[in-house]
Amino acid sequence: MKELKASMAGTVLNVLAAEGQAITPGQAVLTIESMKMEIPVEAEFGGTVEKIHVEIGGFVNEGDLLITVGE
Amino acid sequence: MTKTTETTGYNDRLEQKLAKIFAGGQQKYHDKMKESNKLFVRDRLKLLFDDENYAEDGRFANVEADDLPADGVVTAIGKVNGETVCVMANDSTVKAGSWGSRTVEKIIRIQETAEKMQVPMLYLVDSAGARITDQLDMFPNRRGAGKIFHNQVRMSGMVPQVCLLFGPSAAGGAYIPAFCDIVIMVDGNASMYLGSPRMAEKVIGEKVTLEEMGGARMHCTVSGVGDVLVATEEEAISEARRYLTNFPANFAMKPEKIEAKAAKAGRSLEAIIPENQNAPFDMYELIDQLVDEGSFFDIKKLFAGELITGIARIDGQVVGILANQPKVKGGVLFGDSADKGAKFINLCDAFSIPLLFLADVPGFMIGTKVERAGIIRHGAKFIAAMSSATVPKISVIVRKAYGAGLYAMAGPAFEPDVCIALPTAQIAVMGPEAAVNAVYSNKIEAIEDPKERLQYVQQKHQEYKEEIDIYRLASELIVDEIVAPHQLRSVLSQRLSFYETKDLPLPYRKHPIYPV
């Protein structure tokens, strides 16, 4: 199980993946709005989305867990 | 001429000694090197120098000890790309490349040679650190290991200093890379750490692998102590040679202009830059359209990717580029990107490499995380380095340049030789959305009808955009020129050639109090 964490503080603008979905490295899985910029969050690794820990509009701080990815 | 028996005898002795020195350490250590895809120190030097054009000093160091050929380090002066350089190279087949007293003395002497000749100093590091059994002879004394670092600091900015890390650089030895201008690390083999994983487990109870503690990839992506991550030793050496082509031999000389090449074929800048200020794009694609194809030397590519730093050529003229990367963290500046920018500016300024700033920056990051990490003092380093650089400085406002982001990217107040705006440029304390919220939040909240509220906000956005319209800023002489994106490369080439003679005296004082 791998964890995708927020690289910077911001608000979740969009969730682009669903639980149970297969994702590949480099795929944008979330968009975070921060400093008025739309920042795509790309998966650093492939796998299946096990759990999405955030919802649209929620605040995330740097280092917060966004998504858990299983094999 | 016939040799006398006596002379032949002398020569035989010399040849025997030389053969032993050239062979390095025991065969089992050579085998171990091969297993981990490492080259013998003398093979590294063959690849580094032009046609084996080099001369070695102190070759017979510790020859009487019998099992310590060259005392574990080869020091040499020779030609790289036709230019003279000095080199120290650890031999890890000899006592794991550890340092004895003669090892240290040889390193100090080759540094002194580099300083006297005013030529670059290269450190090919692959060493377990101090020979603890010899510590009194090599560690604390006046010409002990500390002197190596003292010399590095003294020579910093005088001649280029390059570190190629092939193996470990442990404990005190880890300061060799730290004091170099650039550190090239071989993935999987190179490492740097003050305390080994074994020591960490004993002293602080932490269980960790060598790779996690101080591996090449970690240092090039997380700590920022490494600058260039390469797959093989051959690549490390060819990258070091390529890096040096951009530098003069010393601070008093200027980098040479080379033959111009066209930019890489690709989309026009007009197509690359999105109109929506908030939408990401890849700044590398834009840089490719500005520089001579294949000339970009990326420094700290894998570290703090929101700021790109690298040396390139525009029509054969060397230039150091700092560019915000909107694709990574929105191009927002953080503590790490500020450090990255500051060191890069210092490097270019020391060796007369003009600076080009490509600004598309929403500002420095805000929030508790970064304030607690001292983003203000990190940002101050970046701004101080940029502000005190006296090489030609060209500032290009690509899209937004908000707040202290404008300062860091050589905004008008920091005496760039020219501040060029693209038609997409937007200079302001903050973006329209943030500004309207900051100024009119009470009024906005007081409007009850949502439709009316939206209308009010949109009207204020519009007024704000007009206020910071780039033609208005040009009219007020805030920016010096507005350039069509497709003409930017030729405009930059022209400006670089005009500014070649720039000569700015430094203010009279001992030195500034550097923010750290």
How far is Cα A26 from Cα A24, in angstroms, rounded to an integer?
A: 6
pLDDT at B5: 58
Q: Among B280, B363, B368, whose Cβ lies nearest the Cβ of A35?
A: B363
Contact B280 A35 (CB under 8 A): no
**Amino acid of residue B391:** V
**pTM, two decimal places:** 0.94
pLDDT at B434: 87
Does A39 contact chain B (CB < 8 Å)?
yes
Contact B280 A39 (CB under 8 A): yes
How far is Cα B389 from Cα B383, in angstroms, rounded to an integer?
A: 10
Q: Are B391 and B353 in contact (CB under 8 A)?
A: yes
pLDDT at B172: 77
Q: What is the pLDDT of residues B4-49, one digit of tens each?
A: 556 678 899 999 999 999 999 999 999 999 999 999 999 999 999 9
| DSSP H helical ranges for B179-333 | 197-203, 210-214, 216-218, 233-244, 269-272, 283-290
pLDDT at B211: 93
Among A5, A30, A36, A42, pick the best mutation site for testing chain B contact (most B Cβ within 10 A).
A36
Long-range contacts of B463-469 (CB under 8 A, 24+ apart): B464/B428, B464/B432, B464/B435, B464/B436, B465/B432, B468/B426, B468/B427, B468/B428, B468/B432
> What residues have CB less than 8 Å from B220, skipping those under 6 apart?
B185, B226, B227, B228, B229, B300, B302, B303
Q: Among B278, B280, B369, whose Cβ lies nearest the Cβ of A36?
A: B278
Contact A9 B367 (CB under 8 A): yes
Does B330 contact chain A (CB < 8 Å)?
yes
pLDDT (tens digit, 0 to 9) for every residue of chain B, 516 residues total? 455 556 678 899 999 999 999 999 999 999 999 999 999 999 999 999 999 999 999 999 999 998 999 999 999 999 999 999 999 999 999 999 999 999 999 999 999 999 999 999 999 999 998 998 899 999 999 999 999 999 999 999 999 999 999 999 987 788 999 999 999 999 999 999 998 999 999 999 999 999 999 999 999 999 999 999 999 999 999 999 999 999 999 999 999 999 999 999 999 999 999 988 889 999 999 999 999 999 999 999 999 999 999 999 999 999 999 999 999 999 999 999 999 999 999 999 999 999 999 999 999 999 999 999 999 999 999 999 999 999 999 999 999 999 999 999 999 999 999 999 999 999 999 989 889 988 999 999 999 999 999 999 999 999 999 999 999 999 999 999 999 999 999 999 999 999 999 999 999 999 999 999
pLDDT at B1: 47
Q: Are B242 and B249 in contact (CB under 8 A)?
A: no
Residues of B in contact with A30 (CB under 8 A): none
Q: What is the pLDDT of residues A3-61, one digit of tens each?
A: 999 999 999 999 999 999 999 999 999 999 999 888 989 998 899 999 999 999 999 99
- Of B207, B515, B169, which Cα lies nearest the Cα of B376? B515
Does A44 contact chain B (CB < 8 Å)?
no
The most distant pair of C-alpha atoms in chain A lies apart, rounded to whole Å, by 34
Residues of A in contact with B366 (CB under 8 A): 35
Two tokens at B352?
A: 């007369």
Q: Among A35, A38, A61, whose Cβ lies nearest the Cβ of B332?
A: A35
* Residue of chain A nearest B305, judged by CA positions: A7
Does A31 contact chain B (CB < 8 Å)?
no
Buried residues in A8-41 as b, exposed as e (16+ CB within 10 A): bbbebbebebeeeeebeeeeebbbbbbbbbbbbb
Total beta-carbon pairs less than 8 A apart between chain A and chain B: 47
State the nearest Cα–Cα gap between B329 and chain A, in angstroms: 6
Residues of B in contact with A34 (CB under 8 A): 329-330, 332
Q: Among A37, A40, A63, whose Cβ lies nearest the Cβ of B332?
A: A37
Does B272 contact chain A (CB < 8 Å)?
no
State the nearest Cα–Cα gap between A37 and chain B, in angstroms: 5
Q: Tell me whether strands B121-127 and B83-90 are parallel, antiparallel or unpaired.
A: parallel
Does A11 contact chain B (CB < 8 Å)?
no
Q: Among A37, A38, A62, whose Cβ lies nearest the Cβ of B369?
A: A62
Q: Are B242 and B81 in contact (CB under 8 A)?
A: no
Does B278 contact chain A (CB < 8 Å)?
yes
Residues of B in contact with A40 (CB under 8 A): 280, 327
* Residue of chain A nearest B431, judged by CA positions: A36
Does B275 contact chain A (CB < 8 Å)?
no
Q: Are B106 and B140 in contact (CB under 8 A)?
A: no
Q: Are B123 and B176 in contact (CB under 8 A)?
A: yes
Two tokens at B400?
A: 């937004």
- Of B364, B352, B312, B246, which Cα lies nearest the Cα of B492? B312
Residues of A in contact with B329 (CB under 8 A): 7-8, 34, 39
β partners of residue B183: B163
Does A62 contact chain B (CB < 8 Å)?
yes
Q: Among A39, A62, A63, whose Cβ lies nearest the Cβ of B330?
A: A39
pLDDT at B6: 64
